[in-house]
């Protein structure tokens, strides 16, 4: 693996890790948003539906932590999903919290139905993008992204 000092171009602002990741994220988010638009959901909302489908009922704080999403953005998207009756927001009832203010988000019937409709659309879009990056390299890219996430995370 090359060291940073081996290529001074990596230290130019146009190659900023944050900028390039955000640019790629915006472009891919638009592609997924365009694909999911016929269902009336955005990629951010699909991500929440998928997470809730996998994790089951979960507190908003735990969901925010799991997705590394700020609470303002998360609450805005959950509010949209709640208005559309895709999720239910209720006090935690599993005994994991004695604080009545802790809320649980649950994927409900209509949310599961839209998720099932959206999944093949998401998979087709994912497949198209994987072909563009040579899908076998995606595993390496995920490892590299995980390293960036770890290096960018909270300091001990």
Name the packing angle between helices 43-55 and 17-36 (round to 10°). Answer: 90
Q: What percent of the chain has a predicted confidence (pLDDT) above 70? A: 87
Output the domain CATH number for residue 96. Answer: 1.10.10.10
Number of domains in the chain: 1
- CA-to-CA dists, residue 95 to 51, 52, 92, 99, 106, angstroms: 22, 19, 7, 10, 16
| 76: containing domain | 28-137
Digit-coded pLDDT (tens) for 104-115 = 999 999 999 999
Q: Are 105 and 89 a contacting pair, CB within 8 Å?
A: yes
Domain-embedded: residue 153: no
Digit-coded pLDDT (tens) for 33-88 = 999 999 999 999 999 999 999 998 999 989 999 998 888 989 999 999 999 999 99
Alpha carbons 52 and 44: distance in angstroms, whole number: 13
Segment holding 123, helix H or strand E: helix 109-132
Domain-embedded: residue 53: yes
């Amino acid at each position: 693996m090359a060291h940073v000092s081996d290529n001074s171009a990596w230290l130019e602002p146009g190659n900023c890790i944050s900028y390039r990741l955000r640019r790629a994220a915006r472009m891919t988010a638009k592609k997924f948003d365009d694909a999911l638009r016929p269902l009336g959901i955005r990629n951010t909302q699909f991500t929440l539906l998928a997470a809730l489908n996998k994790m089951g009922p979960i507190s908003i704080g735990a969901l925010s932590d799991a997705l590394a999403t700020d609470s303002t953005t998360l609450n805005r998207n959950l509010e949209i999903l709640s208005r559309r009756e895709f999720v239910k927001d209720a006090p935690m009832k599993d005994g994991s919290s004695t604080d009545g203010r802790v809320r649980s988000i649950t994927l409900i019937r209509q949310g599961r139905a839209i998720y099932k409709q959206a999944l093949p659309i998401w998979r087709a879009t994912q497949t198209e993008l994987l072909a563009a990056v040579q899908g076998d390299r995606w595993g390496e890219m995920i490892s590299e992204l995980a390293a960036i996430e770890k290096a960018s995370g909270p300091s001990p």
